[in-house]
Amino acid sequence: MVNPPRGFLFNALSAGIKKKEDLDLGLIYTDQLATCAGVFTTNLVKAAPVILGSKRIKTGRARGVLVNSGCANACTGEEGLKDAEILLQTLAQELNCSADDILPASTGVIGERLPLEKILKNIPKLVQGLSQAKVDLVAQSMMTTDTFPKVVSRTVSFKGGEIRITGLAKGAGMIAPNMATMLAFILTDASLEAQYLQGLLAKVVSKTFNRITVDGDTSTNDTVYALASNKVALDQKVWELFETKFLEVCQELAYLIVKDGEGATKVVRIIVQGTHTEEKALVLARTVANSLLVKTAFFGEDPNWGRILAAMGRSGVDFDPNQVDLWFNQVQIVKNGLSLGKESEKKAHQVMKNKEFTLTIALKEGKAKATILTNDLSYDYVKINAEYRT
C-alpha cells in the first residue's frame, strides 16, 4: 500500500463519463495551499484543461487536481472551456476554496464535450469521500487504454524526519516526445518554492517523459503537475538526494508508460553514443525509436539492422554510415556499417525474445550520448486504435 505525502487527500468514483461503470473522475486535494508547477503539451491543438491549467499554474499555488478520463474536452471550443470552468467552480464551492486553485486534467476521446450534468451531481460524493488511503483509486480513474494503474513512491530520510514523493501517471498510446498522451501528478510533502519546483519539474520531464515514445503521436492533453504540500522542511544536506528521488519517480512512471504501451510486448532501450552532441544523439535515437519498420522488427524479434541504419539516414543529422556499430544487449551485429554475419544475427534474435532489451548504436565522433525508451508495434496496437471510438 502506498504511503502518500502528508497533506494530500484522494478520492475517485464513476461519474458516467465512460460507457462502462469504471472509475472516471478523481480528485487530489490539499488541506492548505500547496506549491505547484506544471509542464504541458507542445501540440498547437490544446484541450480546455491544458489552456486553463497553464494559466492557473502561473500563481505557483494550488489546492488540488480534478482529473477525468473518458473525455478529453479537446477541440470543444468556447463551450468546452465554459464546461471546465463550471465544473471547477462547483467543486470549489463544495471544497470552500477558490476555483482558481483547482488544476484541471482530462483524457479520453477528442471532440466531445464533458457530460456536465452527470459529473456535477457526483461532486458532493467525490468531496465527501476524500481520504489519504485512496491514491490508487485516483490512478485508476485516470486510465483509458492503460491495462494497469501507475503509482510510484520514494522516501527521503534524514536526521529528524523523512520526505515522501508519490507519482501517479496514465498513458499507453499517443506517446511521443515532447510530452505525450499522458497525465502525471508528482506529489511531495517537502517545503518548496514555486520557482524551484517549476525548474526541477521542467528539468526532470526533459530527462524522463520527453525520452519515451510508443507511436510518435503527441496529444492535445499532455499534462504533468507537481504539488508540494509544504509539510516538511527540506534539510539542505539531503537536497541532492531529494532531486534524485524525484527523478527516480518520474523515470519509473515513464518506464511503466512504455511497458503498458498499447499492444506492446517488448520494452526497448535505444542508446545512441559516440556523437559530438547529446542533441544529435537524441535526434538519431528518436528517429529509430519512432520508425514503424524498426518497431515491427522488434515485435517479430528480427534483428533487421538495415532498417535501423535507414531510419538514421533520414533523421536529418549528418553521420558517417561506415563508422556505425550496433549491439543488441552484448551481441554486436554491425561493425563499421557492415554485418558481422548470420551467426551474430542468430544470437541477436535470441536476445530479442526477451521482454526487455537494449539496442546500442555507436558512432565514432565524440563522447555524447542519449537514451530513448520505446516498445514494439504489434497487431493489437492496430486493433486497439482502429476501434477506439466504436
> What gap in Å lies between CA 145 and CA 276, rounded to an integer?
39
Q: Name the nearest CA neighbour of 352 among 231, 261, 267, 286.
A: 267
The b-or-e profile of 115-148 (16+ CB within 10 A means b, else e) is beeebeebbeebbeebeeebbbbbbbbbbbbbee
> What gap in Å lies between CA 371 and CA 252, rounded to an integer?
15
Residue 247, φ and ψ in degrees, nearest 5: -60, -45
Residue 301, φ and ψ in degrees, nearest 5: 55, 40
pLDDT score of 217: 56
Distance between the two ends of the chain, CA-based, in angstroms? Answer: 36
**From the candidates 181, 213, 218, 360, which is the catalytic residue?**
181
Domain 8-257, CATH number (from 3.30.460.80, 1.10.3330.10, 3.60.70.12, 1.10.490.10): 3.60.70.12
The DSSP-derived string for 88-112 is: HHHHHHHHTS-GGGEEEEEEEETT-
301 or 385, which is more confident? 301
The pLDDT tens digits of the residues spanning 124-180 come to 999 999 999 999 999 999 998 888 999 999 999 988 789 999 999 997 654 455 554
The pLDDT tens digits of the residues spanning 201-237 come to 999 999 999 898 866 556 677 899 999 999 999 888 8
Instruction: Indicate the average pLDDT of the chain.
Output: 92
Residue 371 catalytic?
Answer: no
Residue 59 has pLDDT above 90, yes or no: yes
The pLDDT tens digits of the residues spanning 328-374 come to 999 999 999 999 999 999 999 999 999 999 999 999 999 999 999 99
Residue 385 has pLDDT above 80, yes or no: no
pLDDT score of 84: 96
Q: Name the nearest CA neighbour of 164 among 5, 10, 31, 30.
A: 5
Contact between residue 219 and residue 174 where contact means Cβ atoms under 8 Å apart = yes
The DSSP-derived string for 247-306 is: HHHHHHHHHHHHHT-TT---EEEEEEEEES-HHHHHHHHHHHHH-HHHHHHHHTT---HH
339 DSSP β-pair partners: 334
Half-sphere exposure in the Cβ direction for 7 (13 Å, CA): 23
Q: How confident is the model at residue 390 (pLDDT cuts 50, 70, 90)?
A: low
- State the Cα angle at 256 between 255 and 258, rounded to 5°: 65
> What gap in Å lies between CA 275 and CA 49, rounded to an integer?
39
Contact between residue 183 and residue 170 where contact means Cβ atoms under 8 Å apart = yes
User: Under CATH, to which class is 267-386 assigned?
Assistant: alpha beta
Comparing 8-257 with 267-386, is the CATH topology the same?
Answer: no
Residue 261 has pLDDT above 90, yes or no: no
pLDDT score of 180: 47
Residue 367, Cβ density class (10 Å: 0-12 exposed, 13-18 middle, ≥19 buried)? exposed
381 or 148, which is more confident? 148
pLDDT score of 175: 47
Domain ranges of the chain: 8-257, 267-386
pLDDT score of 364: 94
pLDDT score of 336: 97
Q: Which amino acid is located at 219 in the chain?
A: S
The pLDDT of 249-276, averaged and rounded, is 91
The pLDDT of 275-288, averaged and rounded, is 96
